[in-house]
Structure 1
Amino acid sequence: MARTAIPTEAIDWLAVWSGVRGLVLAHDAAFARLLSDRDHTLFALTDDPRLAGRLDARENVTALLARPEAIPTDPFQFEVVFVHQGLHRYNLDQALPQIARVLRPGGCLSASYLVRDDSVPWVRRLAALLRRYDPMAMKGDYGHASLERLRDSRYFPEVEDRAFRVWQPVSRDDLMKLVMAQPLARRLDDAQLAQLLDQVGELYDGAVRPGESLRLPFQLLAWRAWVSHEELTGPVVIPDSALNIPL
């Protein structure tokens, strides 16, 4: 099944402005490619040397071999910092102040996750079928709960969010491959797996219109967290309980 396409409207909402100077926290090359195709000037941060080489080969992209907990640039370098499907990968206690440091005044951290929408009836039926074999089927953790950390961050006091609906066409063969990729498929014997695939095929045939494919629904959860530098520039206040050392 092809990679789910992220709508241009969502990319532009995350980028805020045209032609931005941005920093991408990258764990693959796909999202940086989408942004560079929209004519943004990008620096891409990764601790994977092979990925850094792939990113560096793209026009308008400069790779930085590092992690967001220690960003190797001067302050106020970027209008937008992007992270797609990856905020949960980092130590946010260390990464968020670093991201705030490198953002220009008025800039933002744009974070996004693509998650499956299980509210569509045929998807609910598929989940119910798979959970007869494995109660945890189709309950994957995308990591998007990490977005809530932005609401609690003093470095990003203003947060706005949007959800974009995304539809991925799914053929009968695509659905079979999706089921075969589930961990439960490796735990079933041949007869059980054959029975399950027959049931999935019946579900597909009963849900699809003749000559068409089903569409698997996703939501792109998109957040923009606007930076405040007050916490980075404010005076140090020693609490009353601090240790006093006489000189």
Structure 2
Amino acid sequence: MTLHRLAAQGYATAADAYEKGRPDYPRGAIELLRDTLRIDASSVVLDLGAGTGKLTRLLAPTGARLLALEPVEGMRRKLSQMVPSATLLDGVAEAIPLPEASVDAAVAAQSFHWFHGDLALAEIHRVLRPKRRLALLFNLRDERVDWVARISRVLDRHGRDAPTHRIGAWRRTFTETPRFTPLGEHEFTHAQELDLDGLLERVASISYIAALPLQERYAVLNEIRDLAATHPELSGKGAYLFPYRTLVACYERR
């Protein structure tokens, strides 16, 4: 299997921006993962599409053995710096380099929409032990806030070919699979404090923005800079609270 073109191009050069600009996950979501996936110091946990380890590091206090699967070399280098205790795996969710029934829990944070759903679920089912669990996490930009919706409109002009979690198409894979039973979805509010540079890094970390030619990428960032300077809720502020709705969906291996 090969990585989606935009992910391969964009994330190969965006690891620093991803680390600086992307939010973590709310405490309530991590507590839900720990309890629902039954993660403790005896667990082996697989983080699929781990990126720079935004979720991986939040699971480290459980004492679990953390396996971080990440196909992009630049992301793995950053992840090794941020979460040195994790075991890094080079690979994709559709071809997980682990033996059968070797994992107690699996998580995919901000990544499942990049996977070929049926193939990935077959592999996750293969490596999970019977009756063990999978959780997906998504930080969704809270577009009920006007300036966030305006940022999304800028981004949407450039991301037409990229898979997105915002429309929830990933759910179709789970309604059609015989391999997993849904356990429920939960939503949490979350916010990320950013200065202007951080806001620009947040935008620059998006795969299809990072993959743009340099001049086009600068044009997008200048639009965001102008928005920050002129929008009534943003102008004159030194720091911004970027609001999110964090979705957690849990499933059990049949």
TM-score of the two chains, using structure 2 as the length reference = 0.66
Shifted more, 42-51 versus 170-179: the winner is 170-179
In structure 2, what is the equivalent of residue 202 of structure 1? 230
Instruction: Tell which structure's C-alpha radius of gyration is larger.
Output: 1
Contact 1:55 1:62 in 2 (8 A): no
Contact 2:22 2:202 in 1 (8 A): no
Q: After superposition, where does 1:139-158 map in structure 2 within 5 Å?
A: 143-144=164-165, 145-148=168-171, 149-158=173-182
Deviations along 1:171-217, one digit per CA (max 9) or x if unpaired, are 4565577789977x956999xx98995664231xx326987744221
Matched residues in 2 for 1:196 and 1:94: separation? 37
1:140–1:200 distance in 2 versus 1, CA, 3 Å: farther
User: After TM superposition, what 4+ stretches of structure 1 lie above 6 angstroms from structure 2?
Assistant: 137-140, 176-183, 193-196, 209-212
Count of matched residue pairs: 220
- Structure 1 residue 106 and structure 2 residue 127: aligned? no
Q: What stretches of structure 1 of length at least 5 have no aligned partner?
A: 229-247
Aligned partner of 1:167: which letter? A
Deviations along 1:107-159, one digit per CA (max 9) or x if unpaired, are 111111212111024434x459x76xx98379896621343022321101324
Q: After superposition, where does 1:3-14 map in structure 2 within 5 Å?
A: 3-14=22-33
Q: After superposition, where does 1:50-199 map in structure 2 within 5 Å?
A: 58=83, 60-124=85-149, 126-127=150-151, 136=157, 143-144=164-165, 145-148=168-171, 149-171=173-195, 186=215
Contact 2:94 2:115 in 1 (8 A): yes
Shifted more, 99-108 versus 3-12: the winner is 3-12
Matched residues in 2 for 1:108 and 1:80: separation? 5
- Structure 1 residue 225 and structure 2 residue 246: aligned? no
Percent identical: 22
TM-score of the two chains, using structure 1 as the length reference = 0.68
Q: Which structure is higher in RCO with an 8 Å CA cutoff and minimum separation 6?
A: 2
1:158–1:127 distance in 2 versus 1, CA, 3 Å: closer
1:35–1:202 distance in 2 versus 1, CA, 3 Å: same
- Where 1:44 maps in the other structure, the secondary structure is strand
Aligned-residue RMSD, C-alpha:
4.1
